[in-house]
Amino acid sequence: MSSLSRDEVARVAGLARIELTPTEIDRLAGELEVIVDAVASVSEIATADVPATSHPLPMTNVFRPDVPEAPLDRDLVLAAAPAAEDGKFLVPQILGEDA
C-alpha cells in the first residue's frame, strides 16, 4: 500500500484552502493513511458475488402521509416578524456590499 506523502497532504490542504502547520501535515498524513488502508480493506472484501447495499437492514418510509392543509395567515405571520414591507419579510441587504 502506498503511503500519503507530506506533499500530497499539503497539496490537498491547499486546494481546500486550509492552512496547516508542518506538525499538522505530519499528523494528518498518518491519519489519512489509516483511512486509505481501511477503504482498501473494504474494497478487497467487496467482490462480484456480494451484492452492494446502502443499509444493512431493509428501510421503510417513516414519513407521515402528505395531507394538504390550509396555509398560515400571512398577516398573522408577518405580525410576528421583526420587519415587513409590502406583505413580505424585510431583511438586511447582503449582496453587493463590501465584506
pLDDT tens per residue, range 3-60: 788 999 999 999 999 999 999 999 999 999 999 888 888 877 767 777 777 787 887 8
> Using CA atoms, how far apart are residues 54 and 18, in angstroms rounded to an integer?
31
User: Residue 62 — very low, low, confident or very high, per pLDDT cuts 50/70/90?
Assistant: confident
The three-state secondary structure class of 16 is coil
Answer whether CATH 3.40.50.300 is correct for domain 6-45.
Answer: no
60-75 in b/e burial notation, b at 16+ Cβ within 10 A? eeeeeeeeeeeeeeee
Residue 75's nearest CA partner among 86, 66, 65 is 86
pTM (predicted TM-score): 0.44
- Domains in the chain: boundaries: 6-45
> Using CA atoms, how far apart are residues 44 and 64, in angstroms rounded to an integer?
40
> Using CA atoms, how far apart are residues 35 and 39, in angstroms rounded to an integer?
6
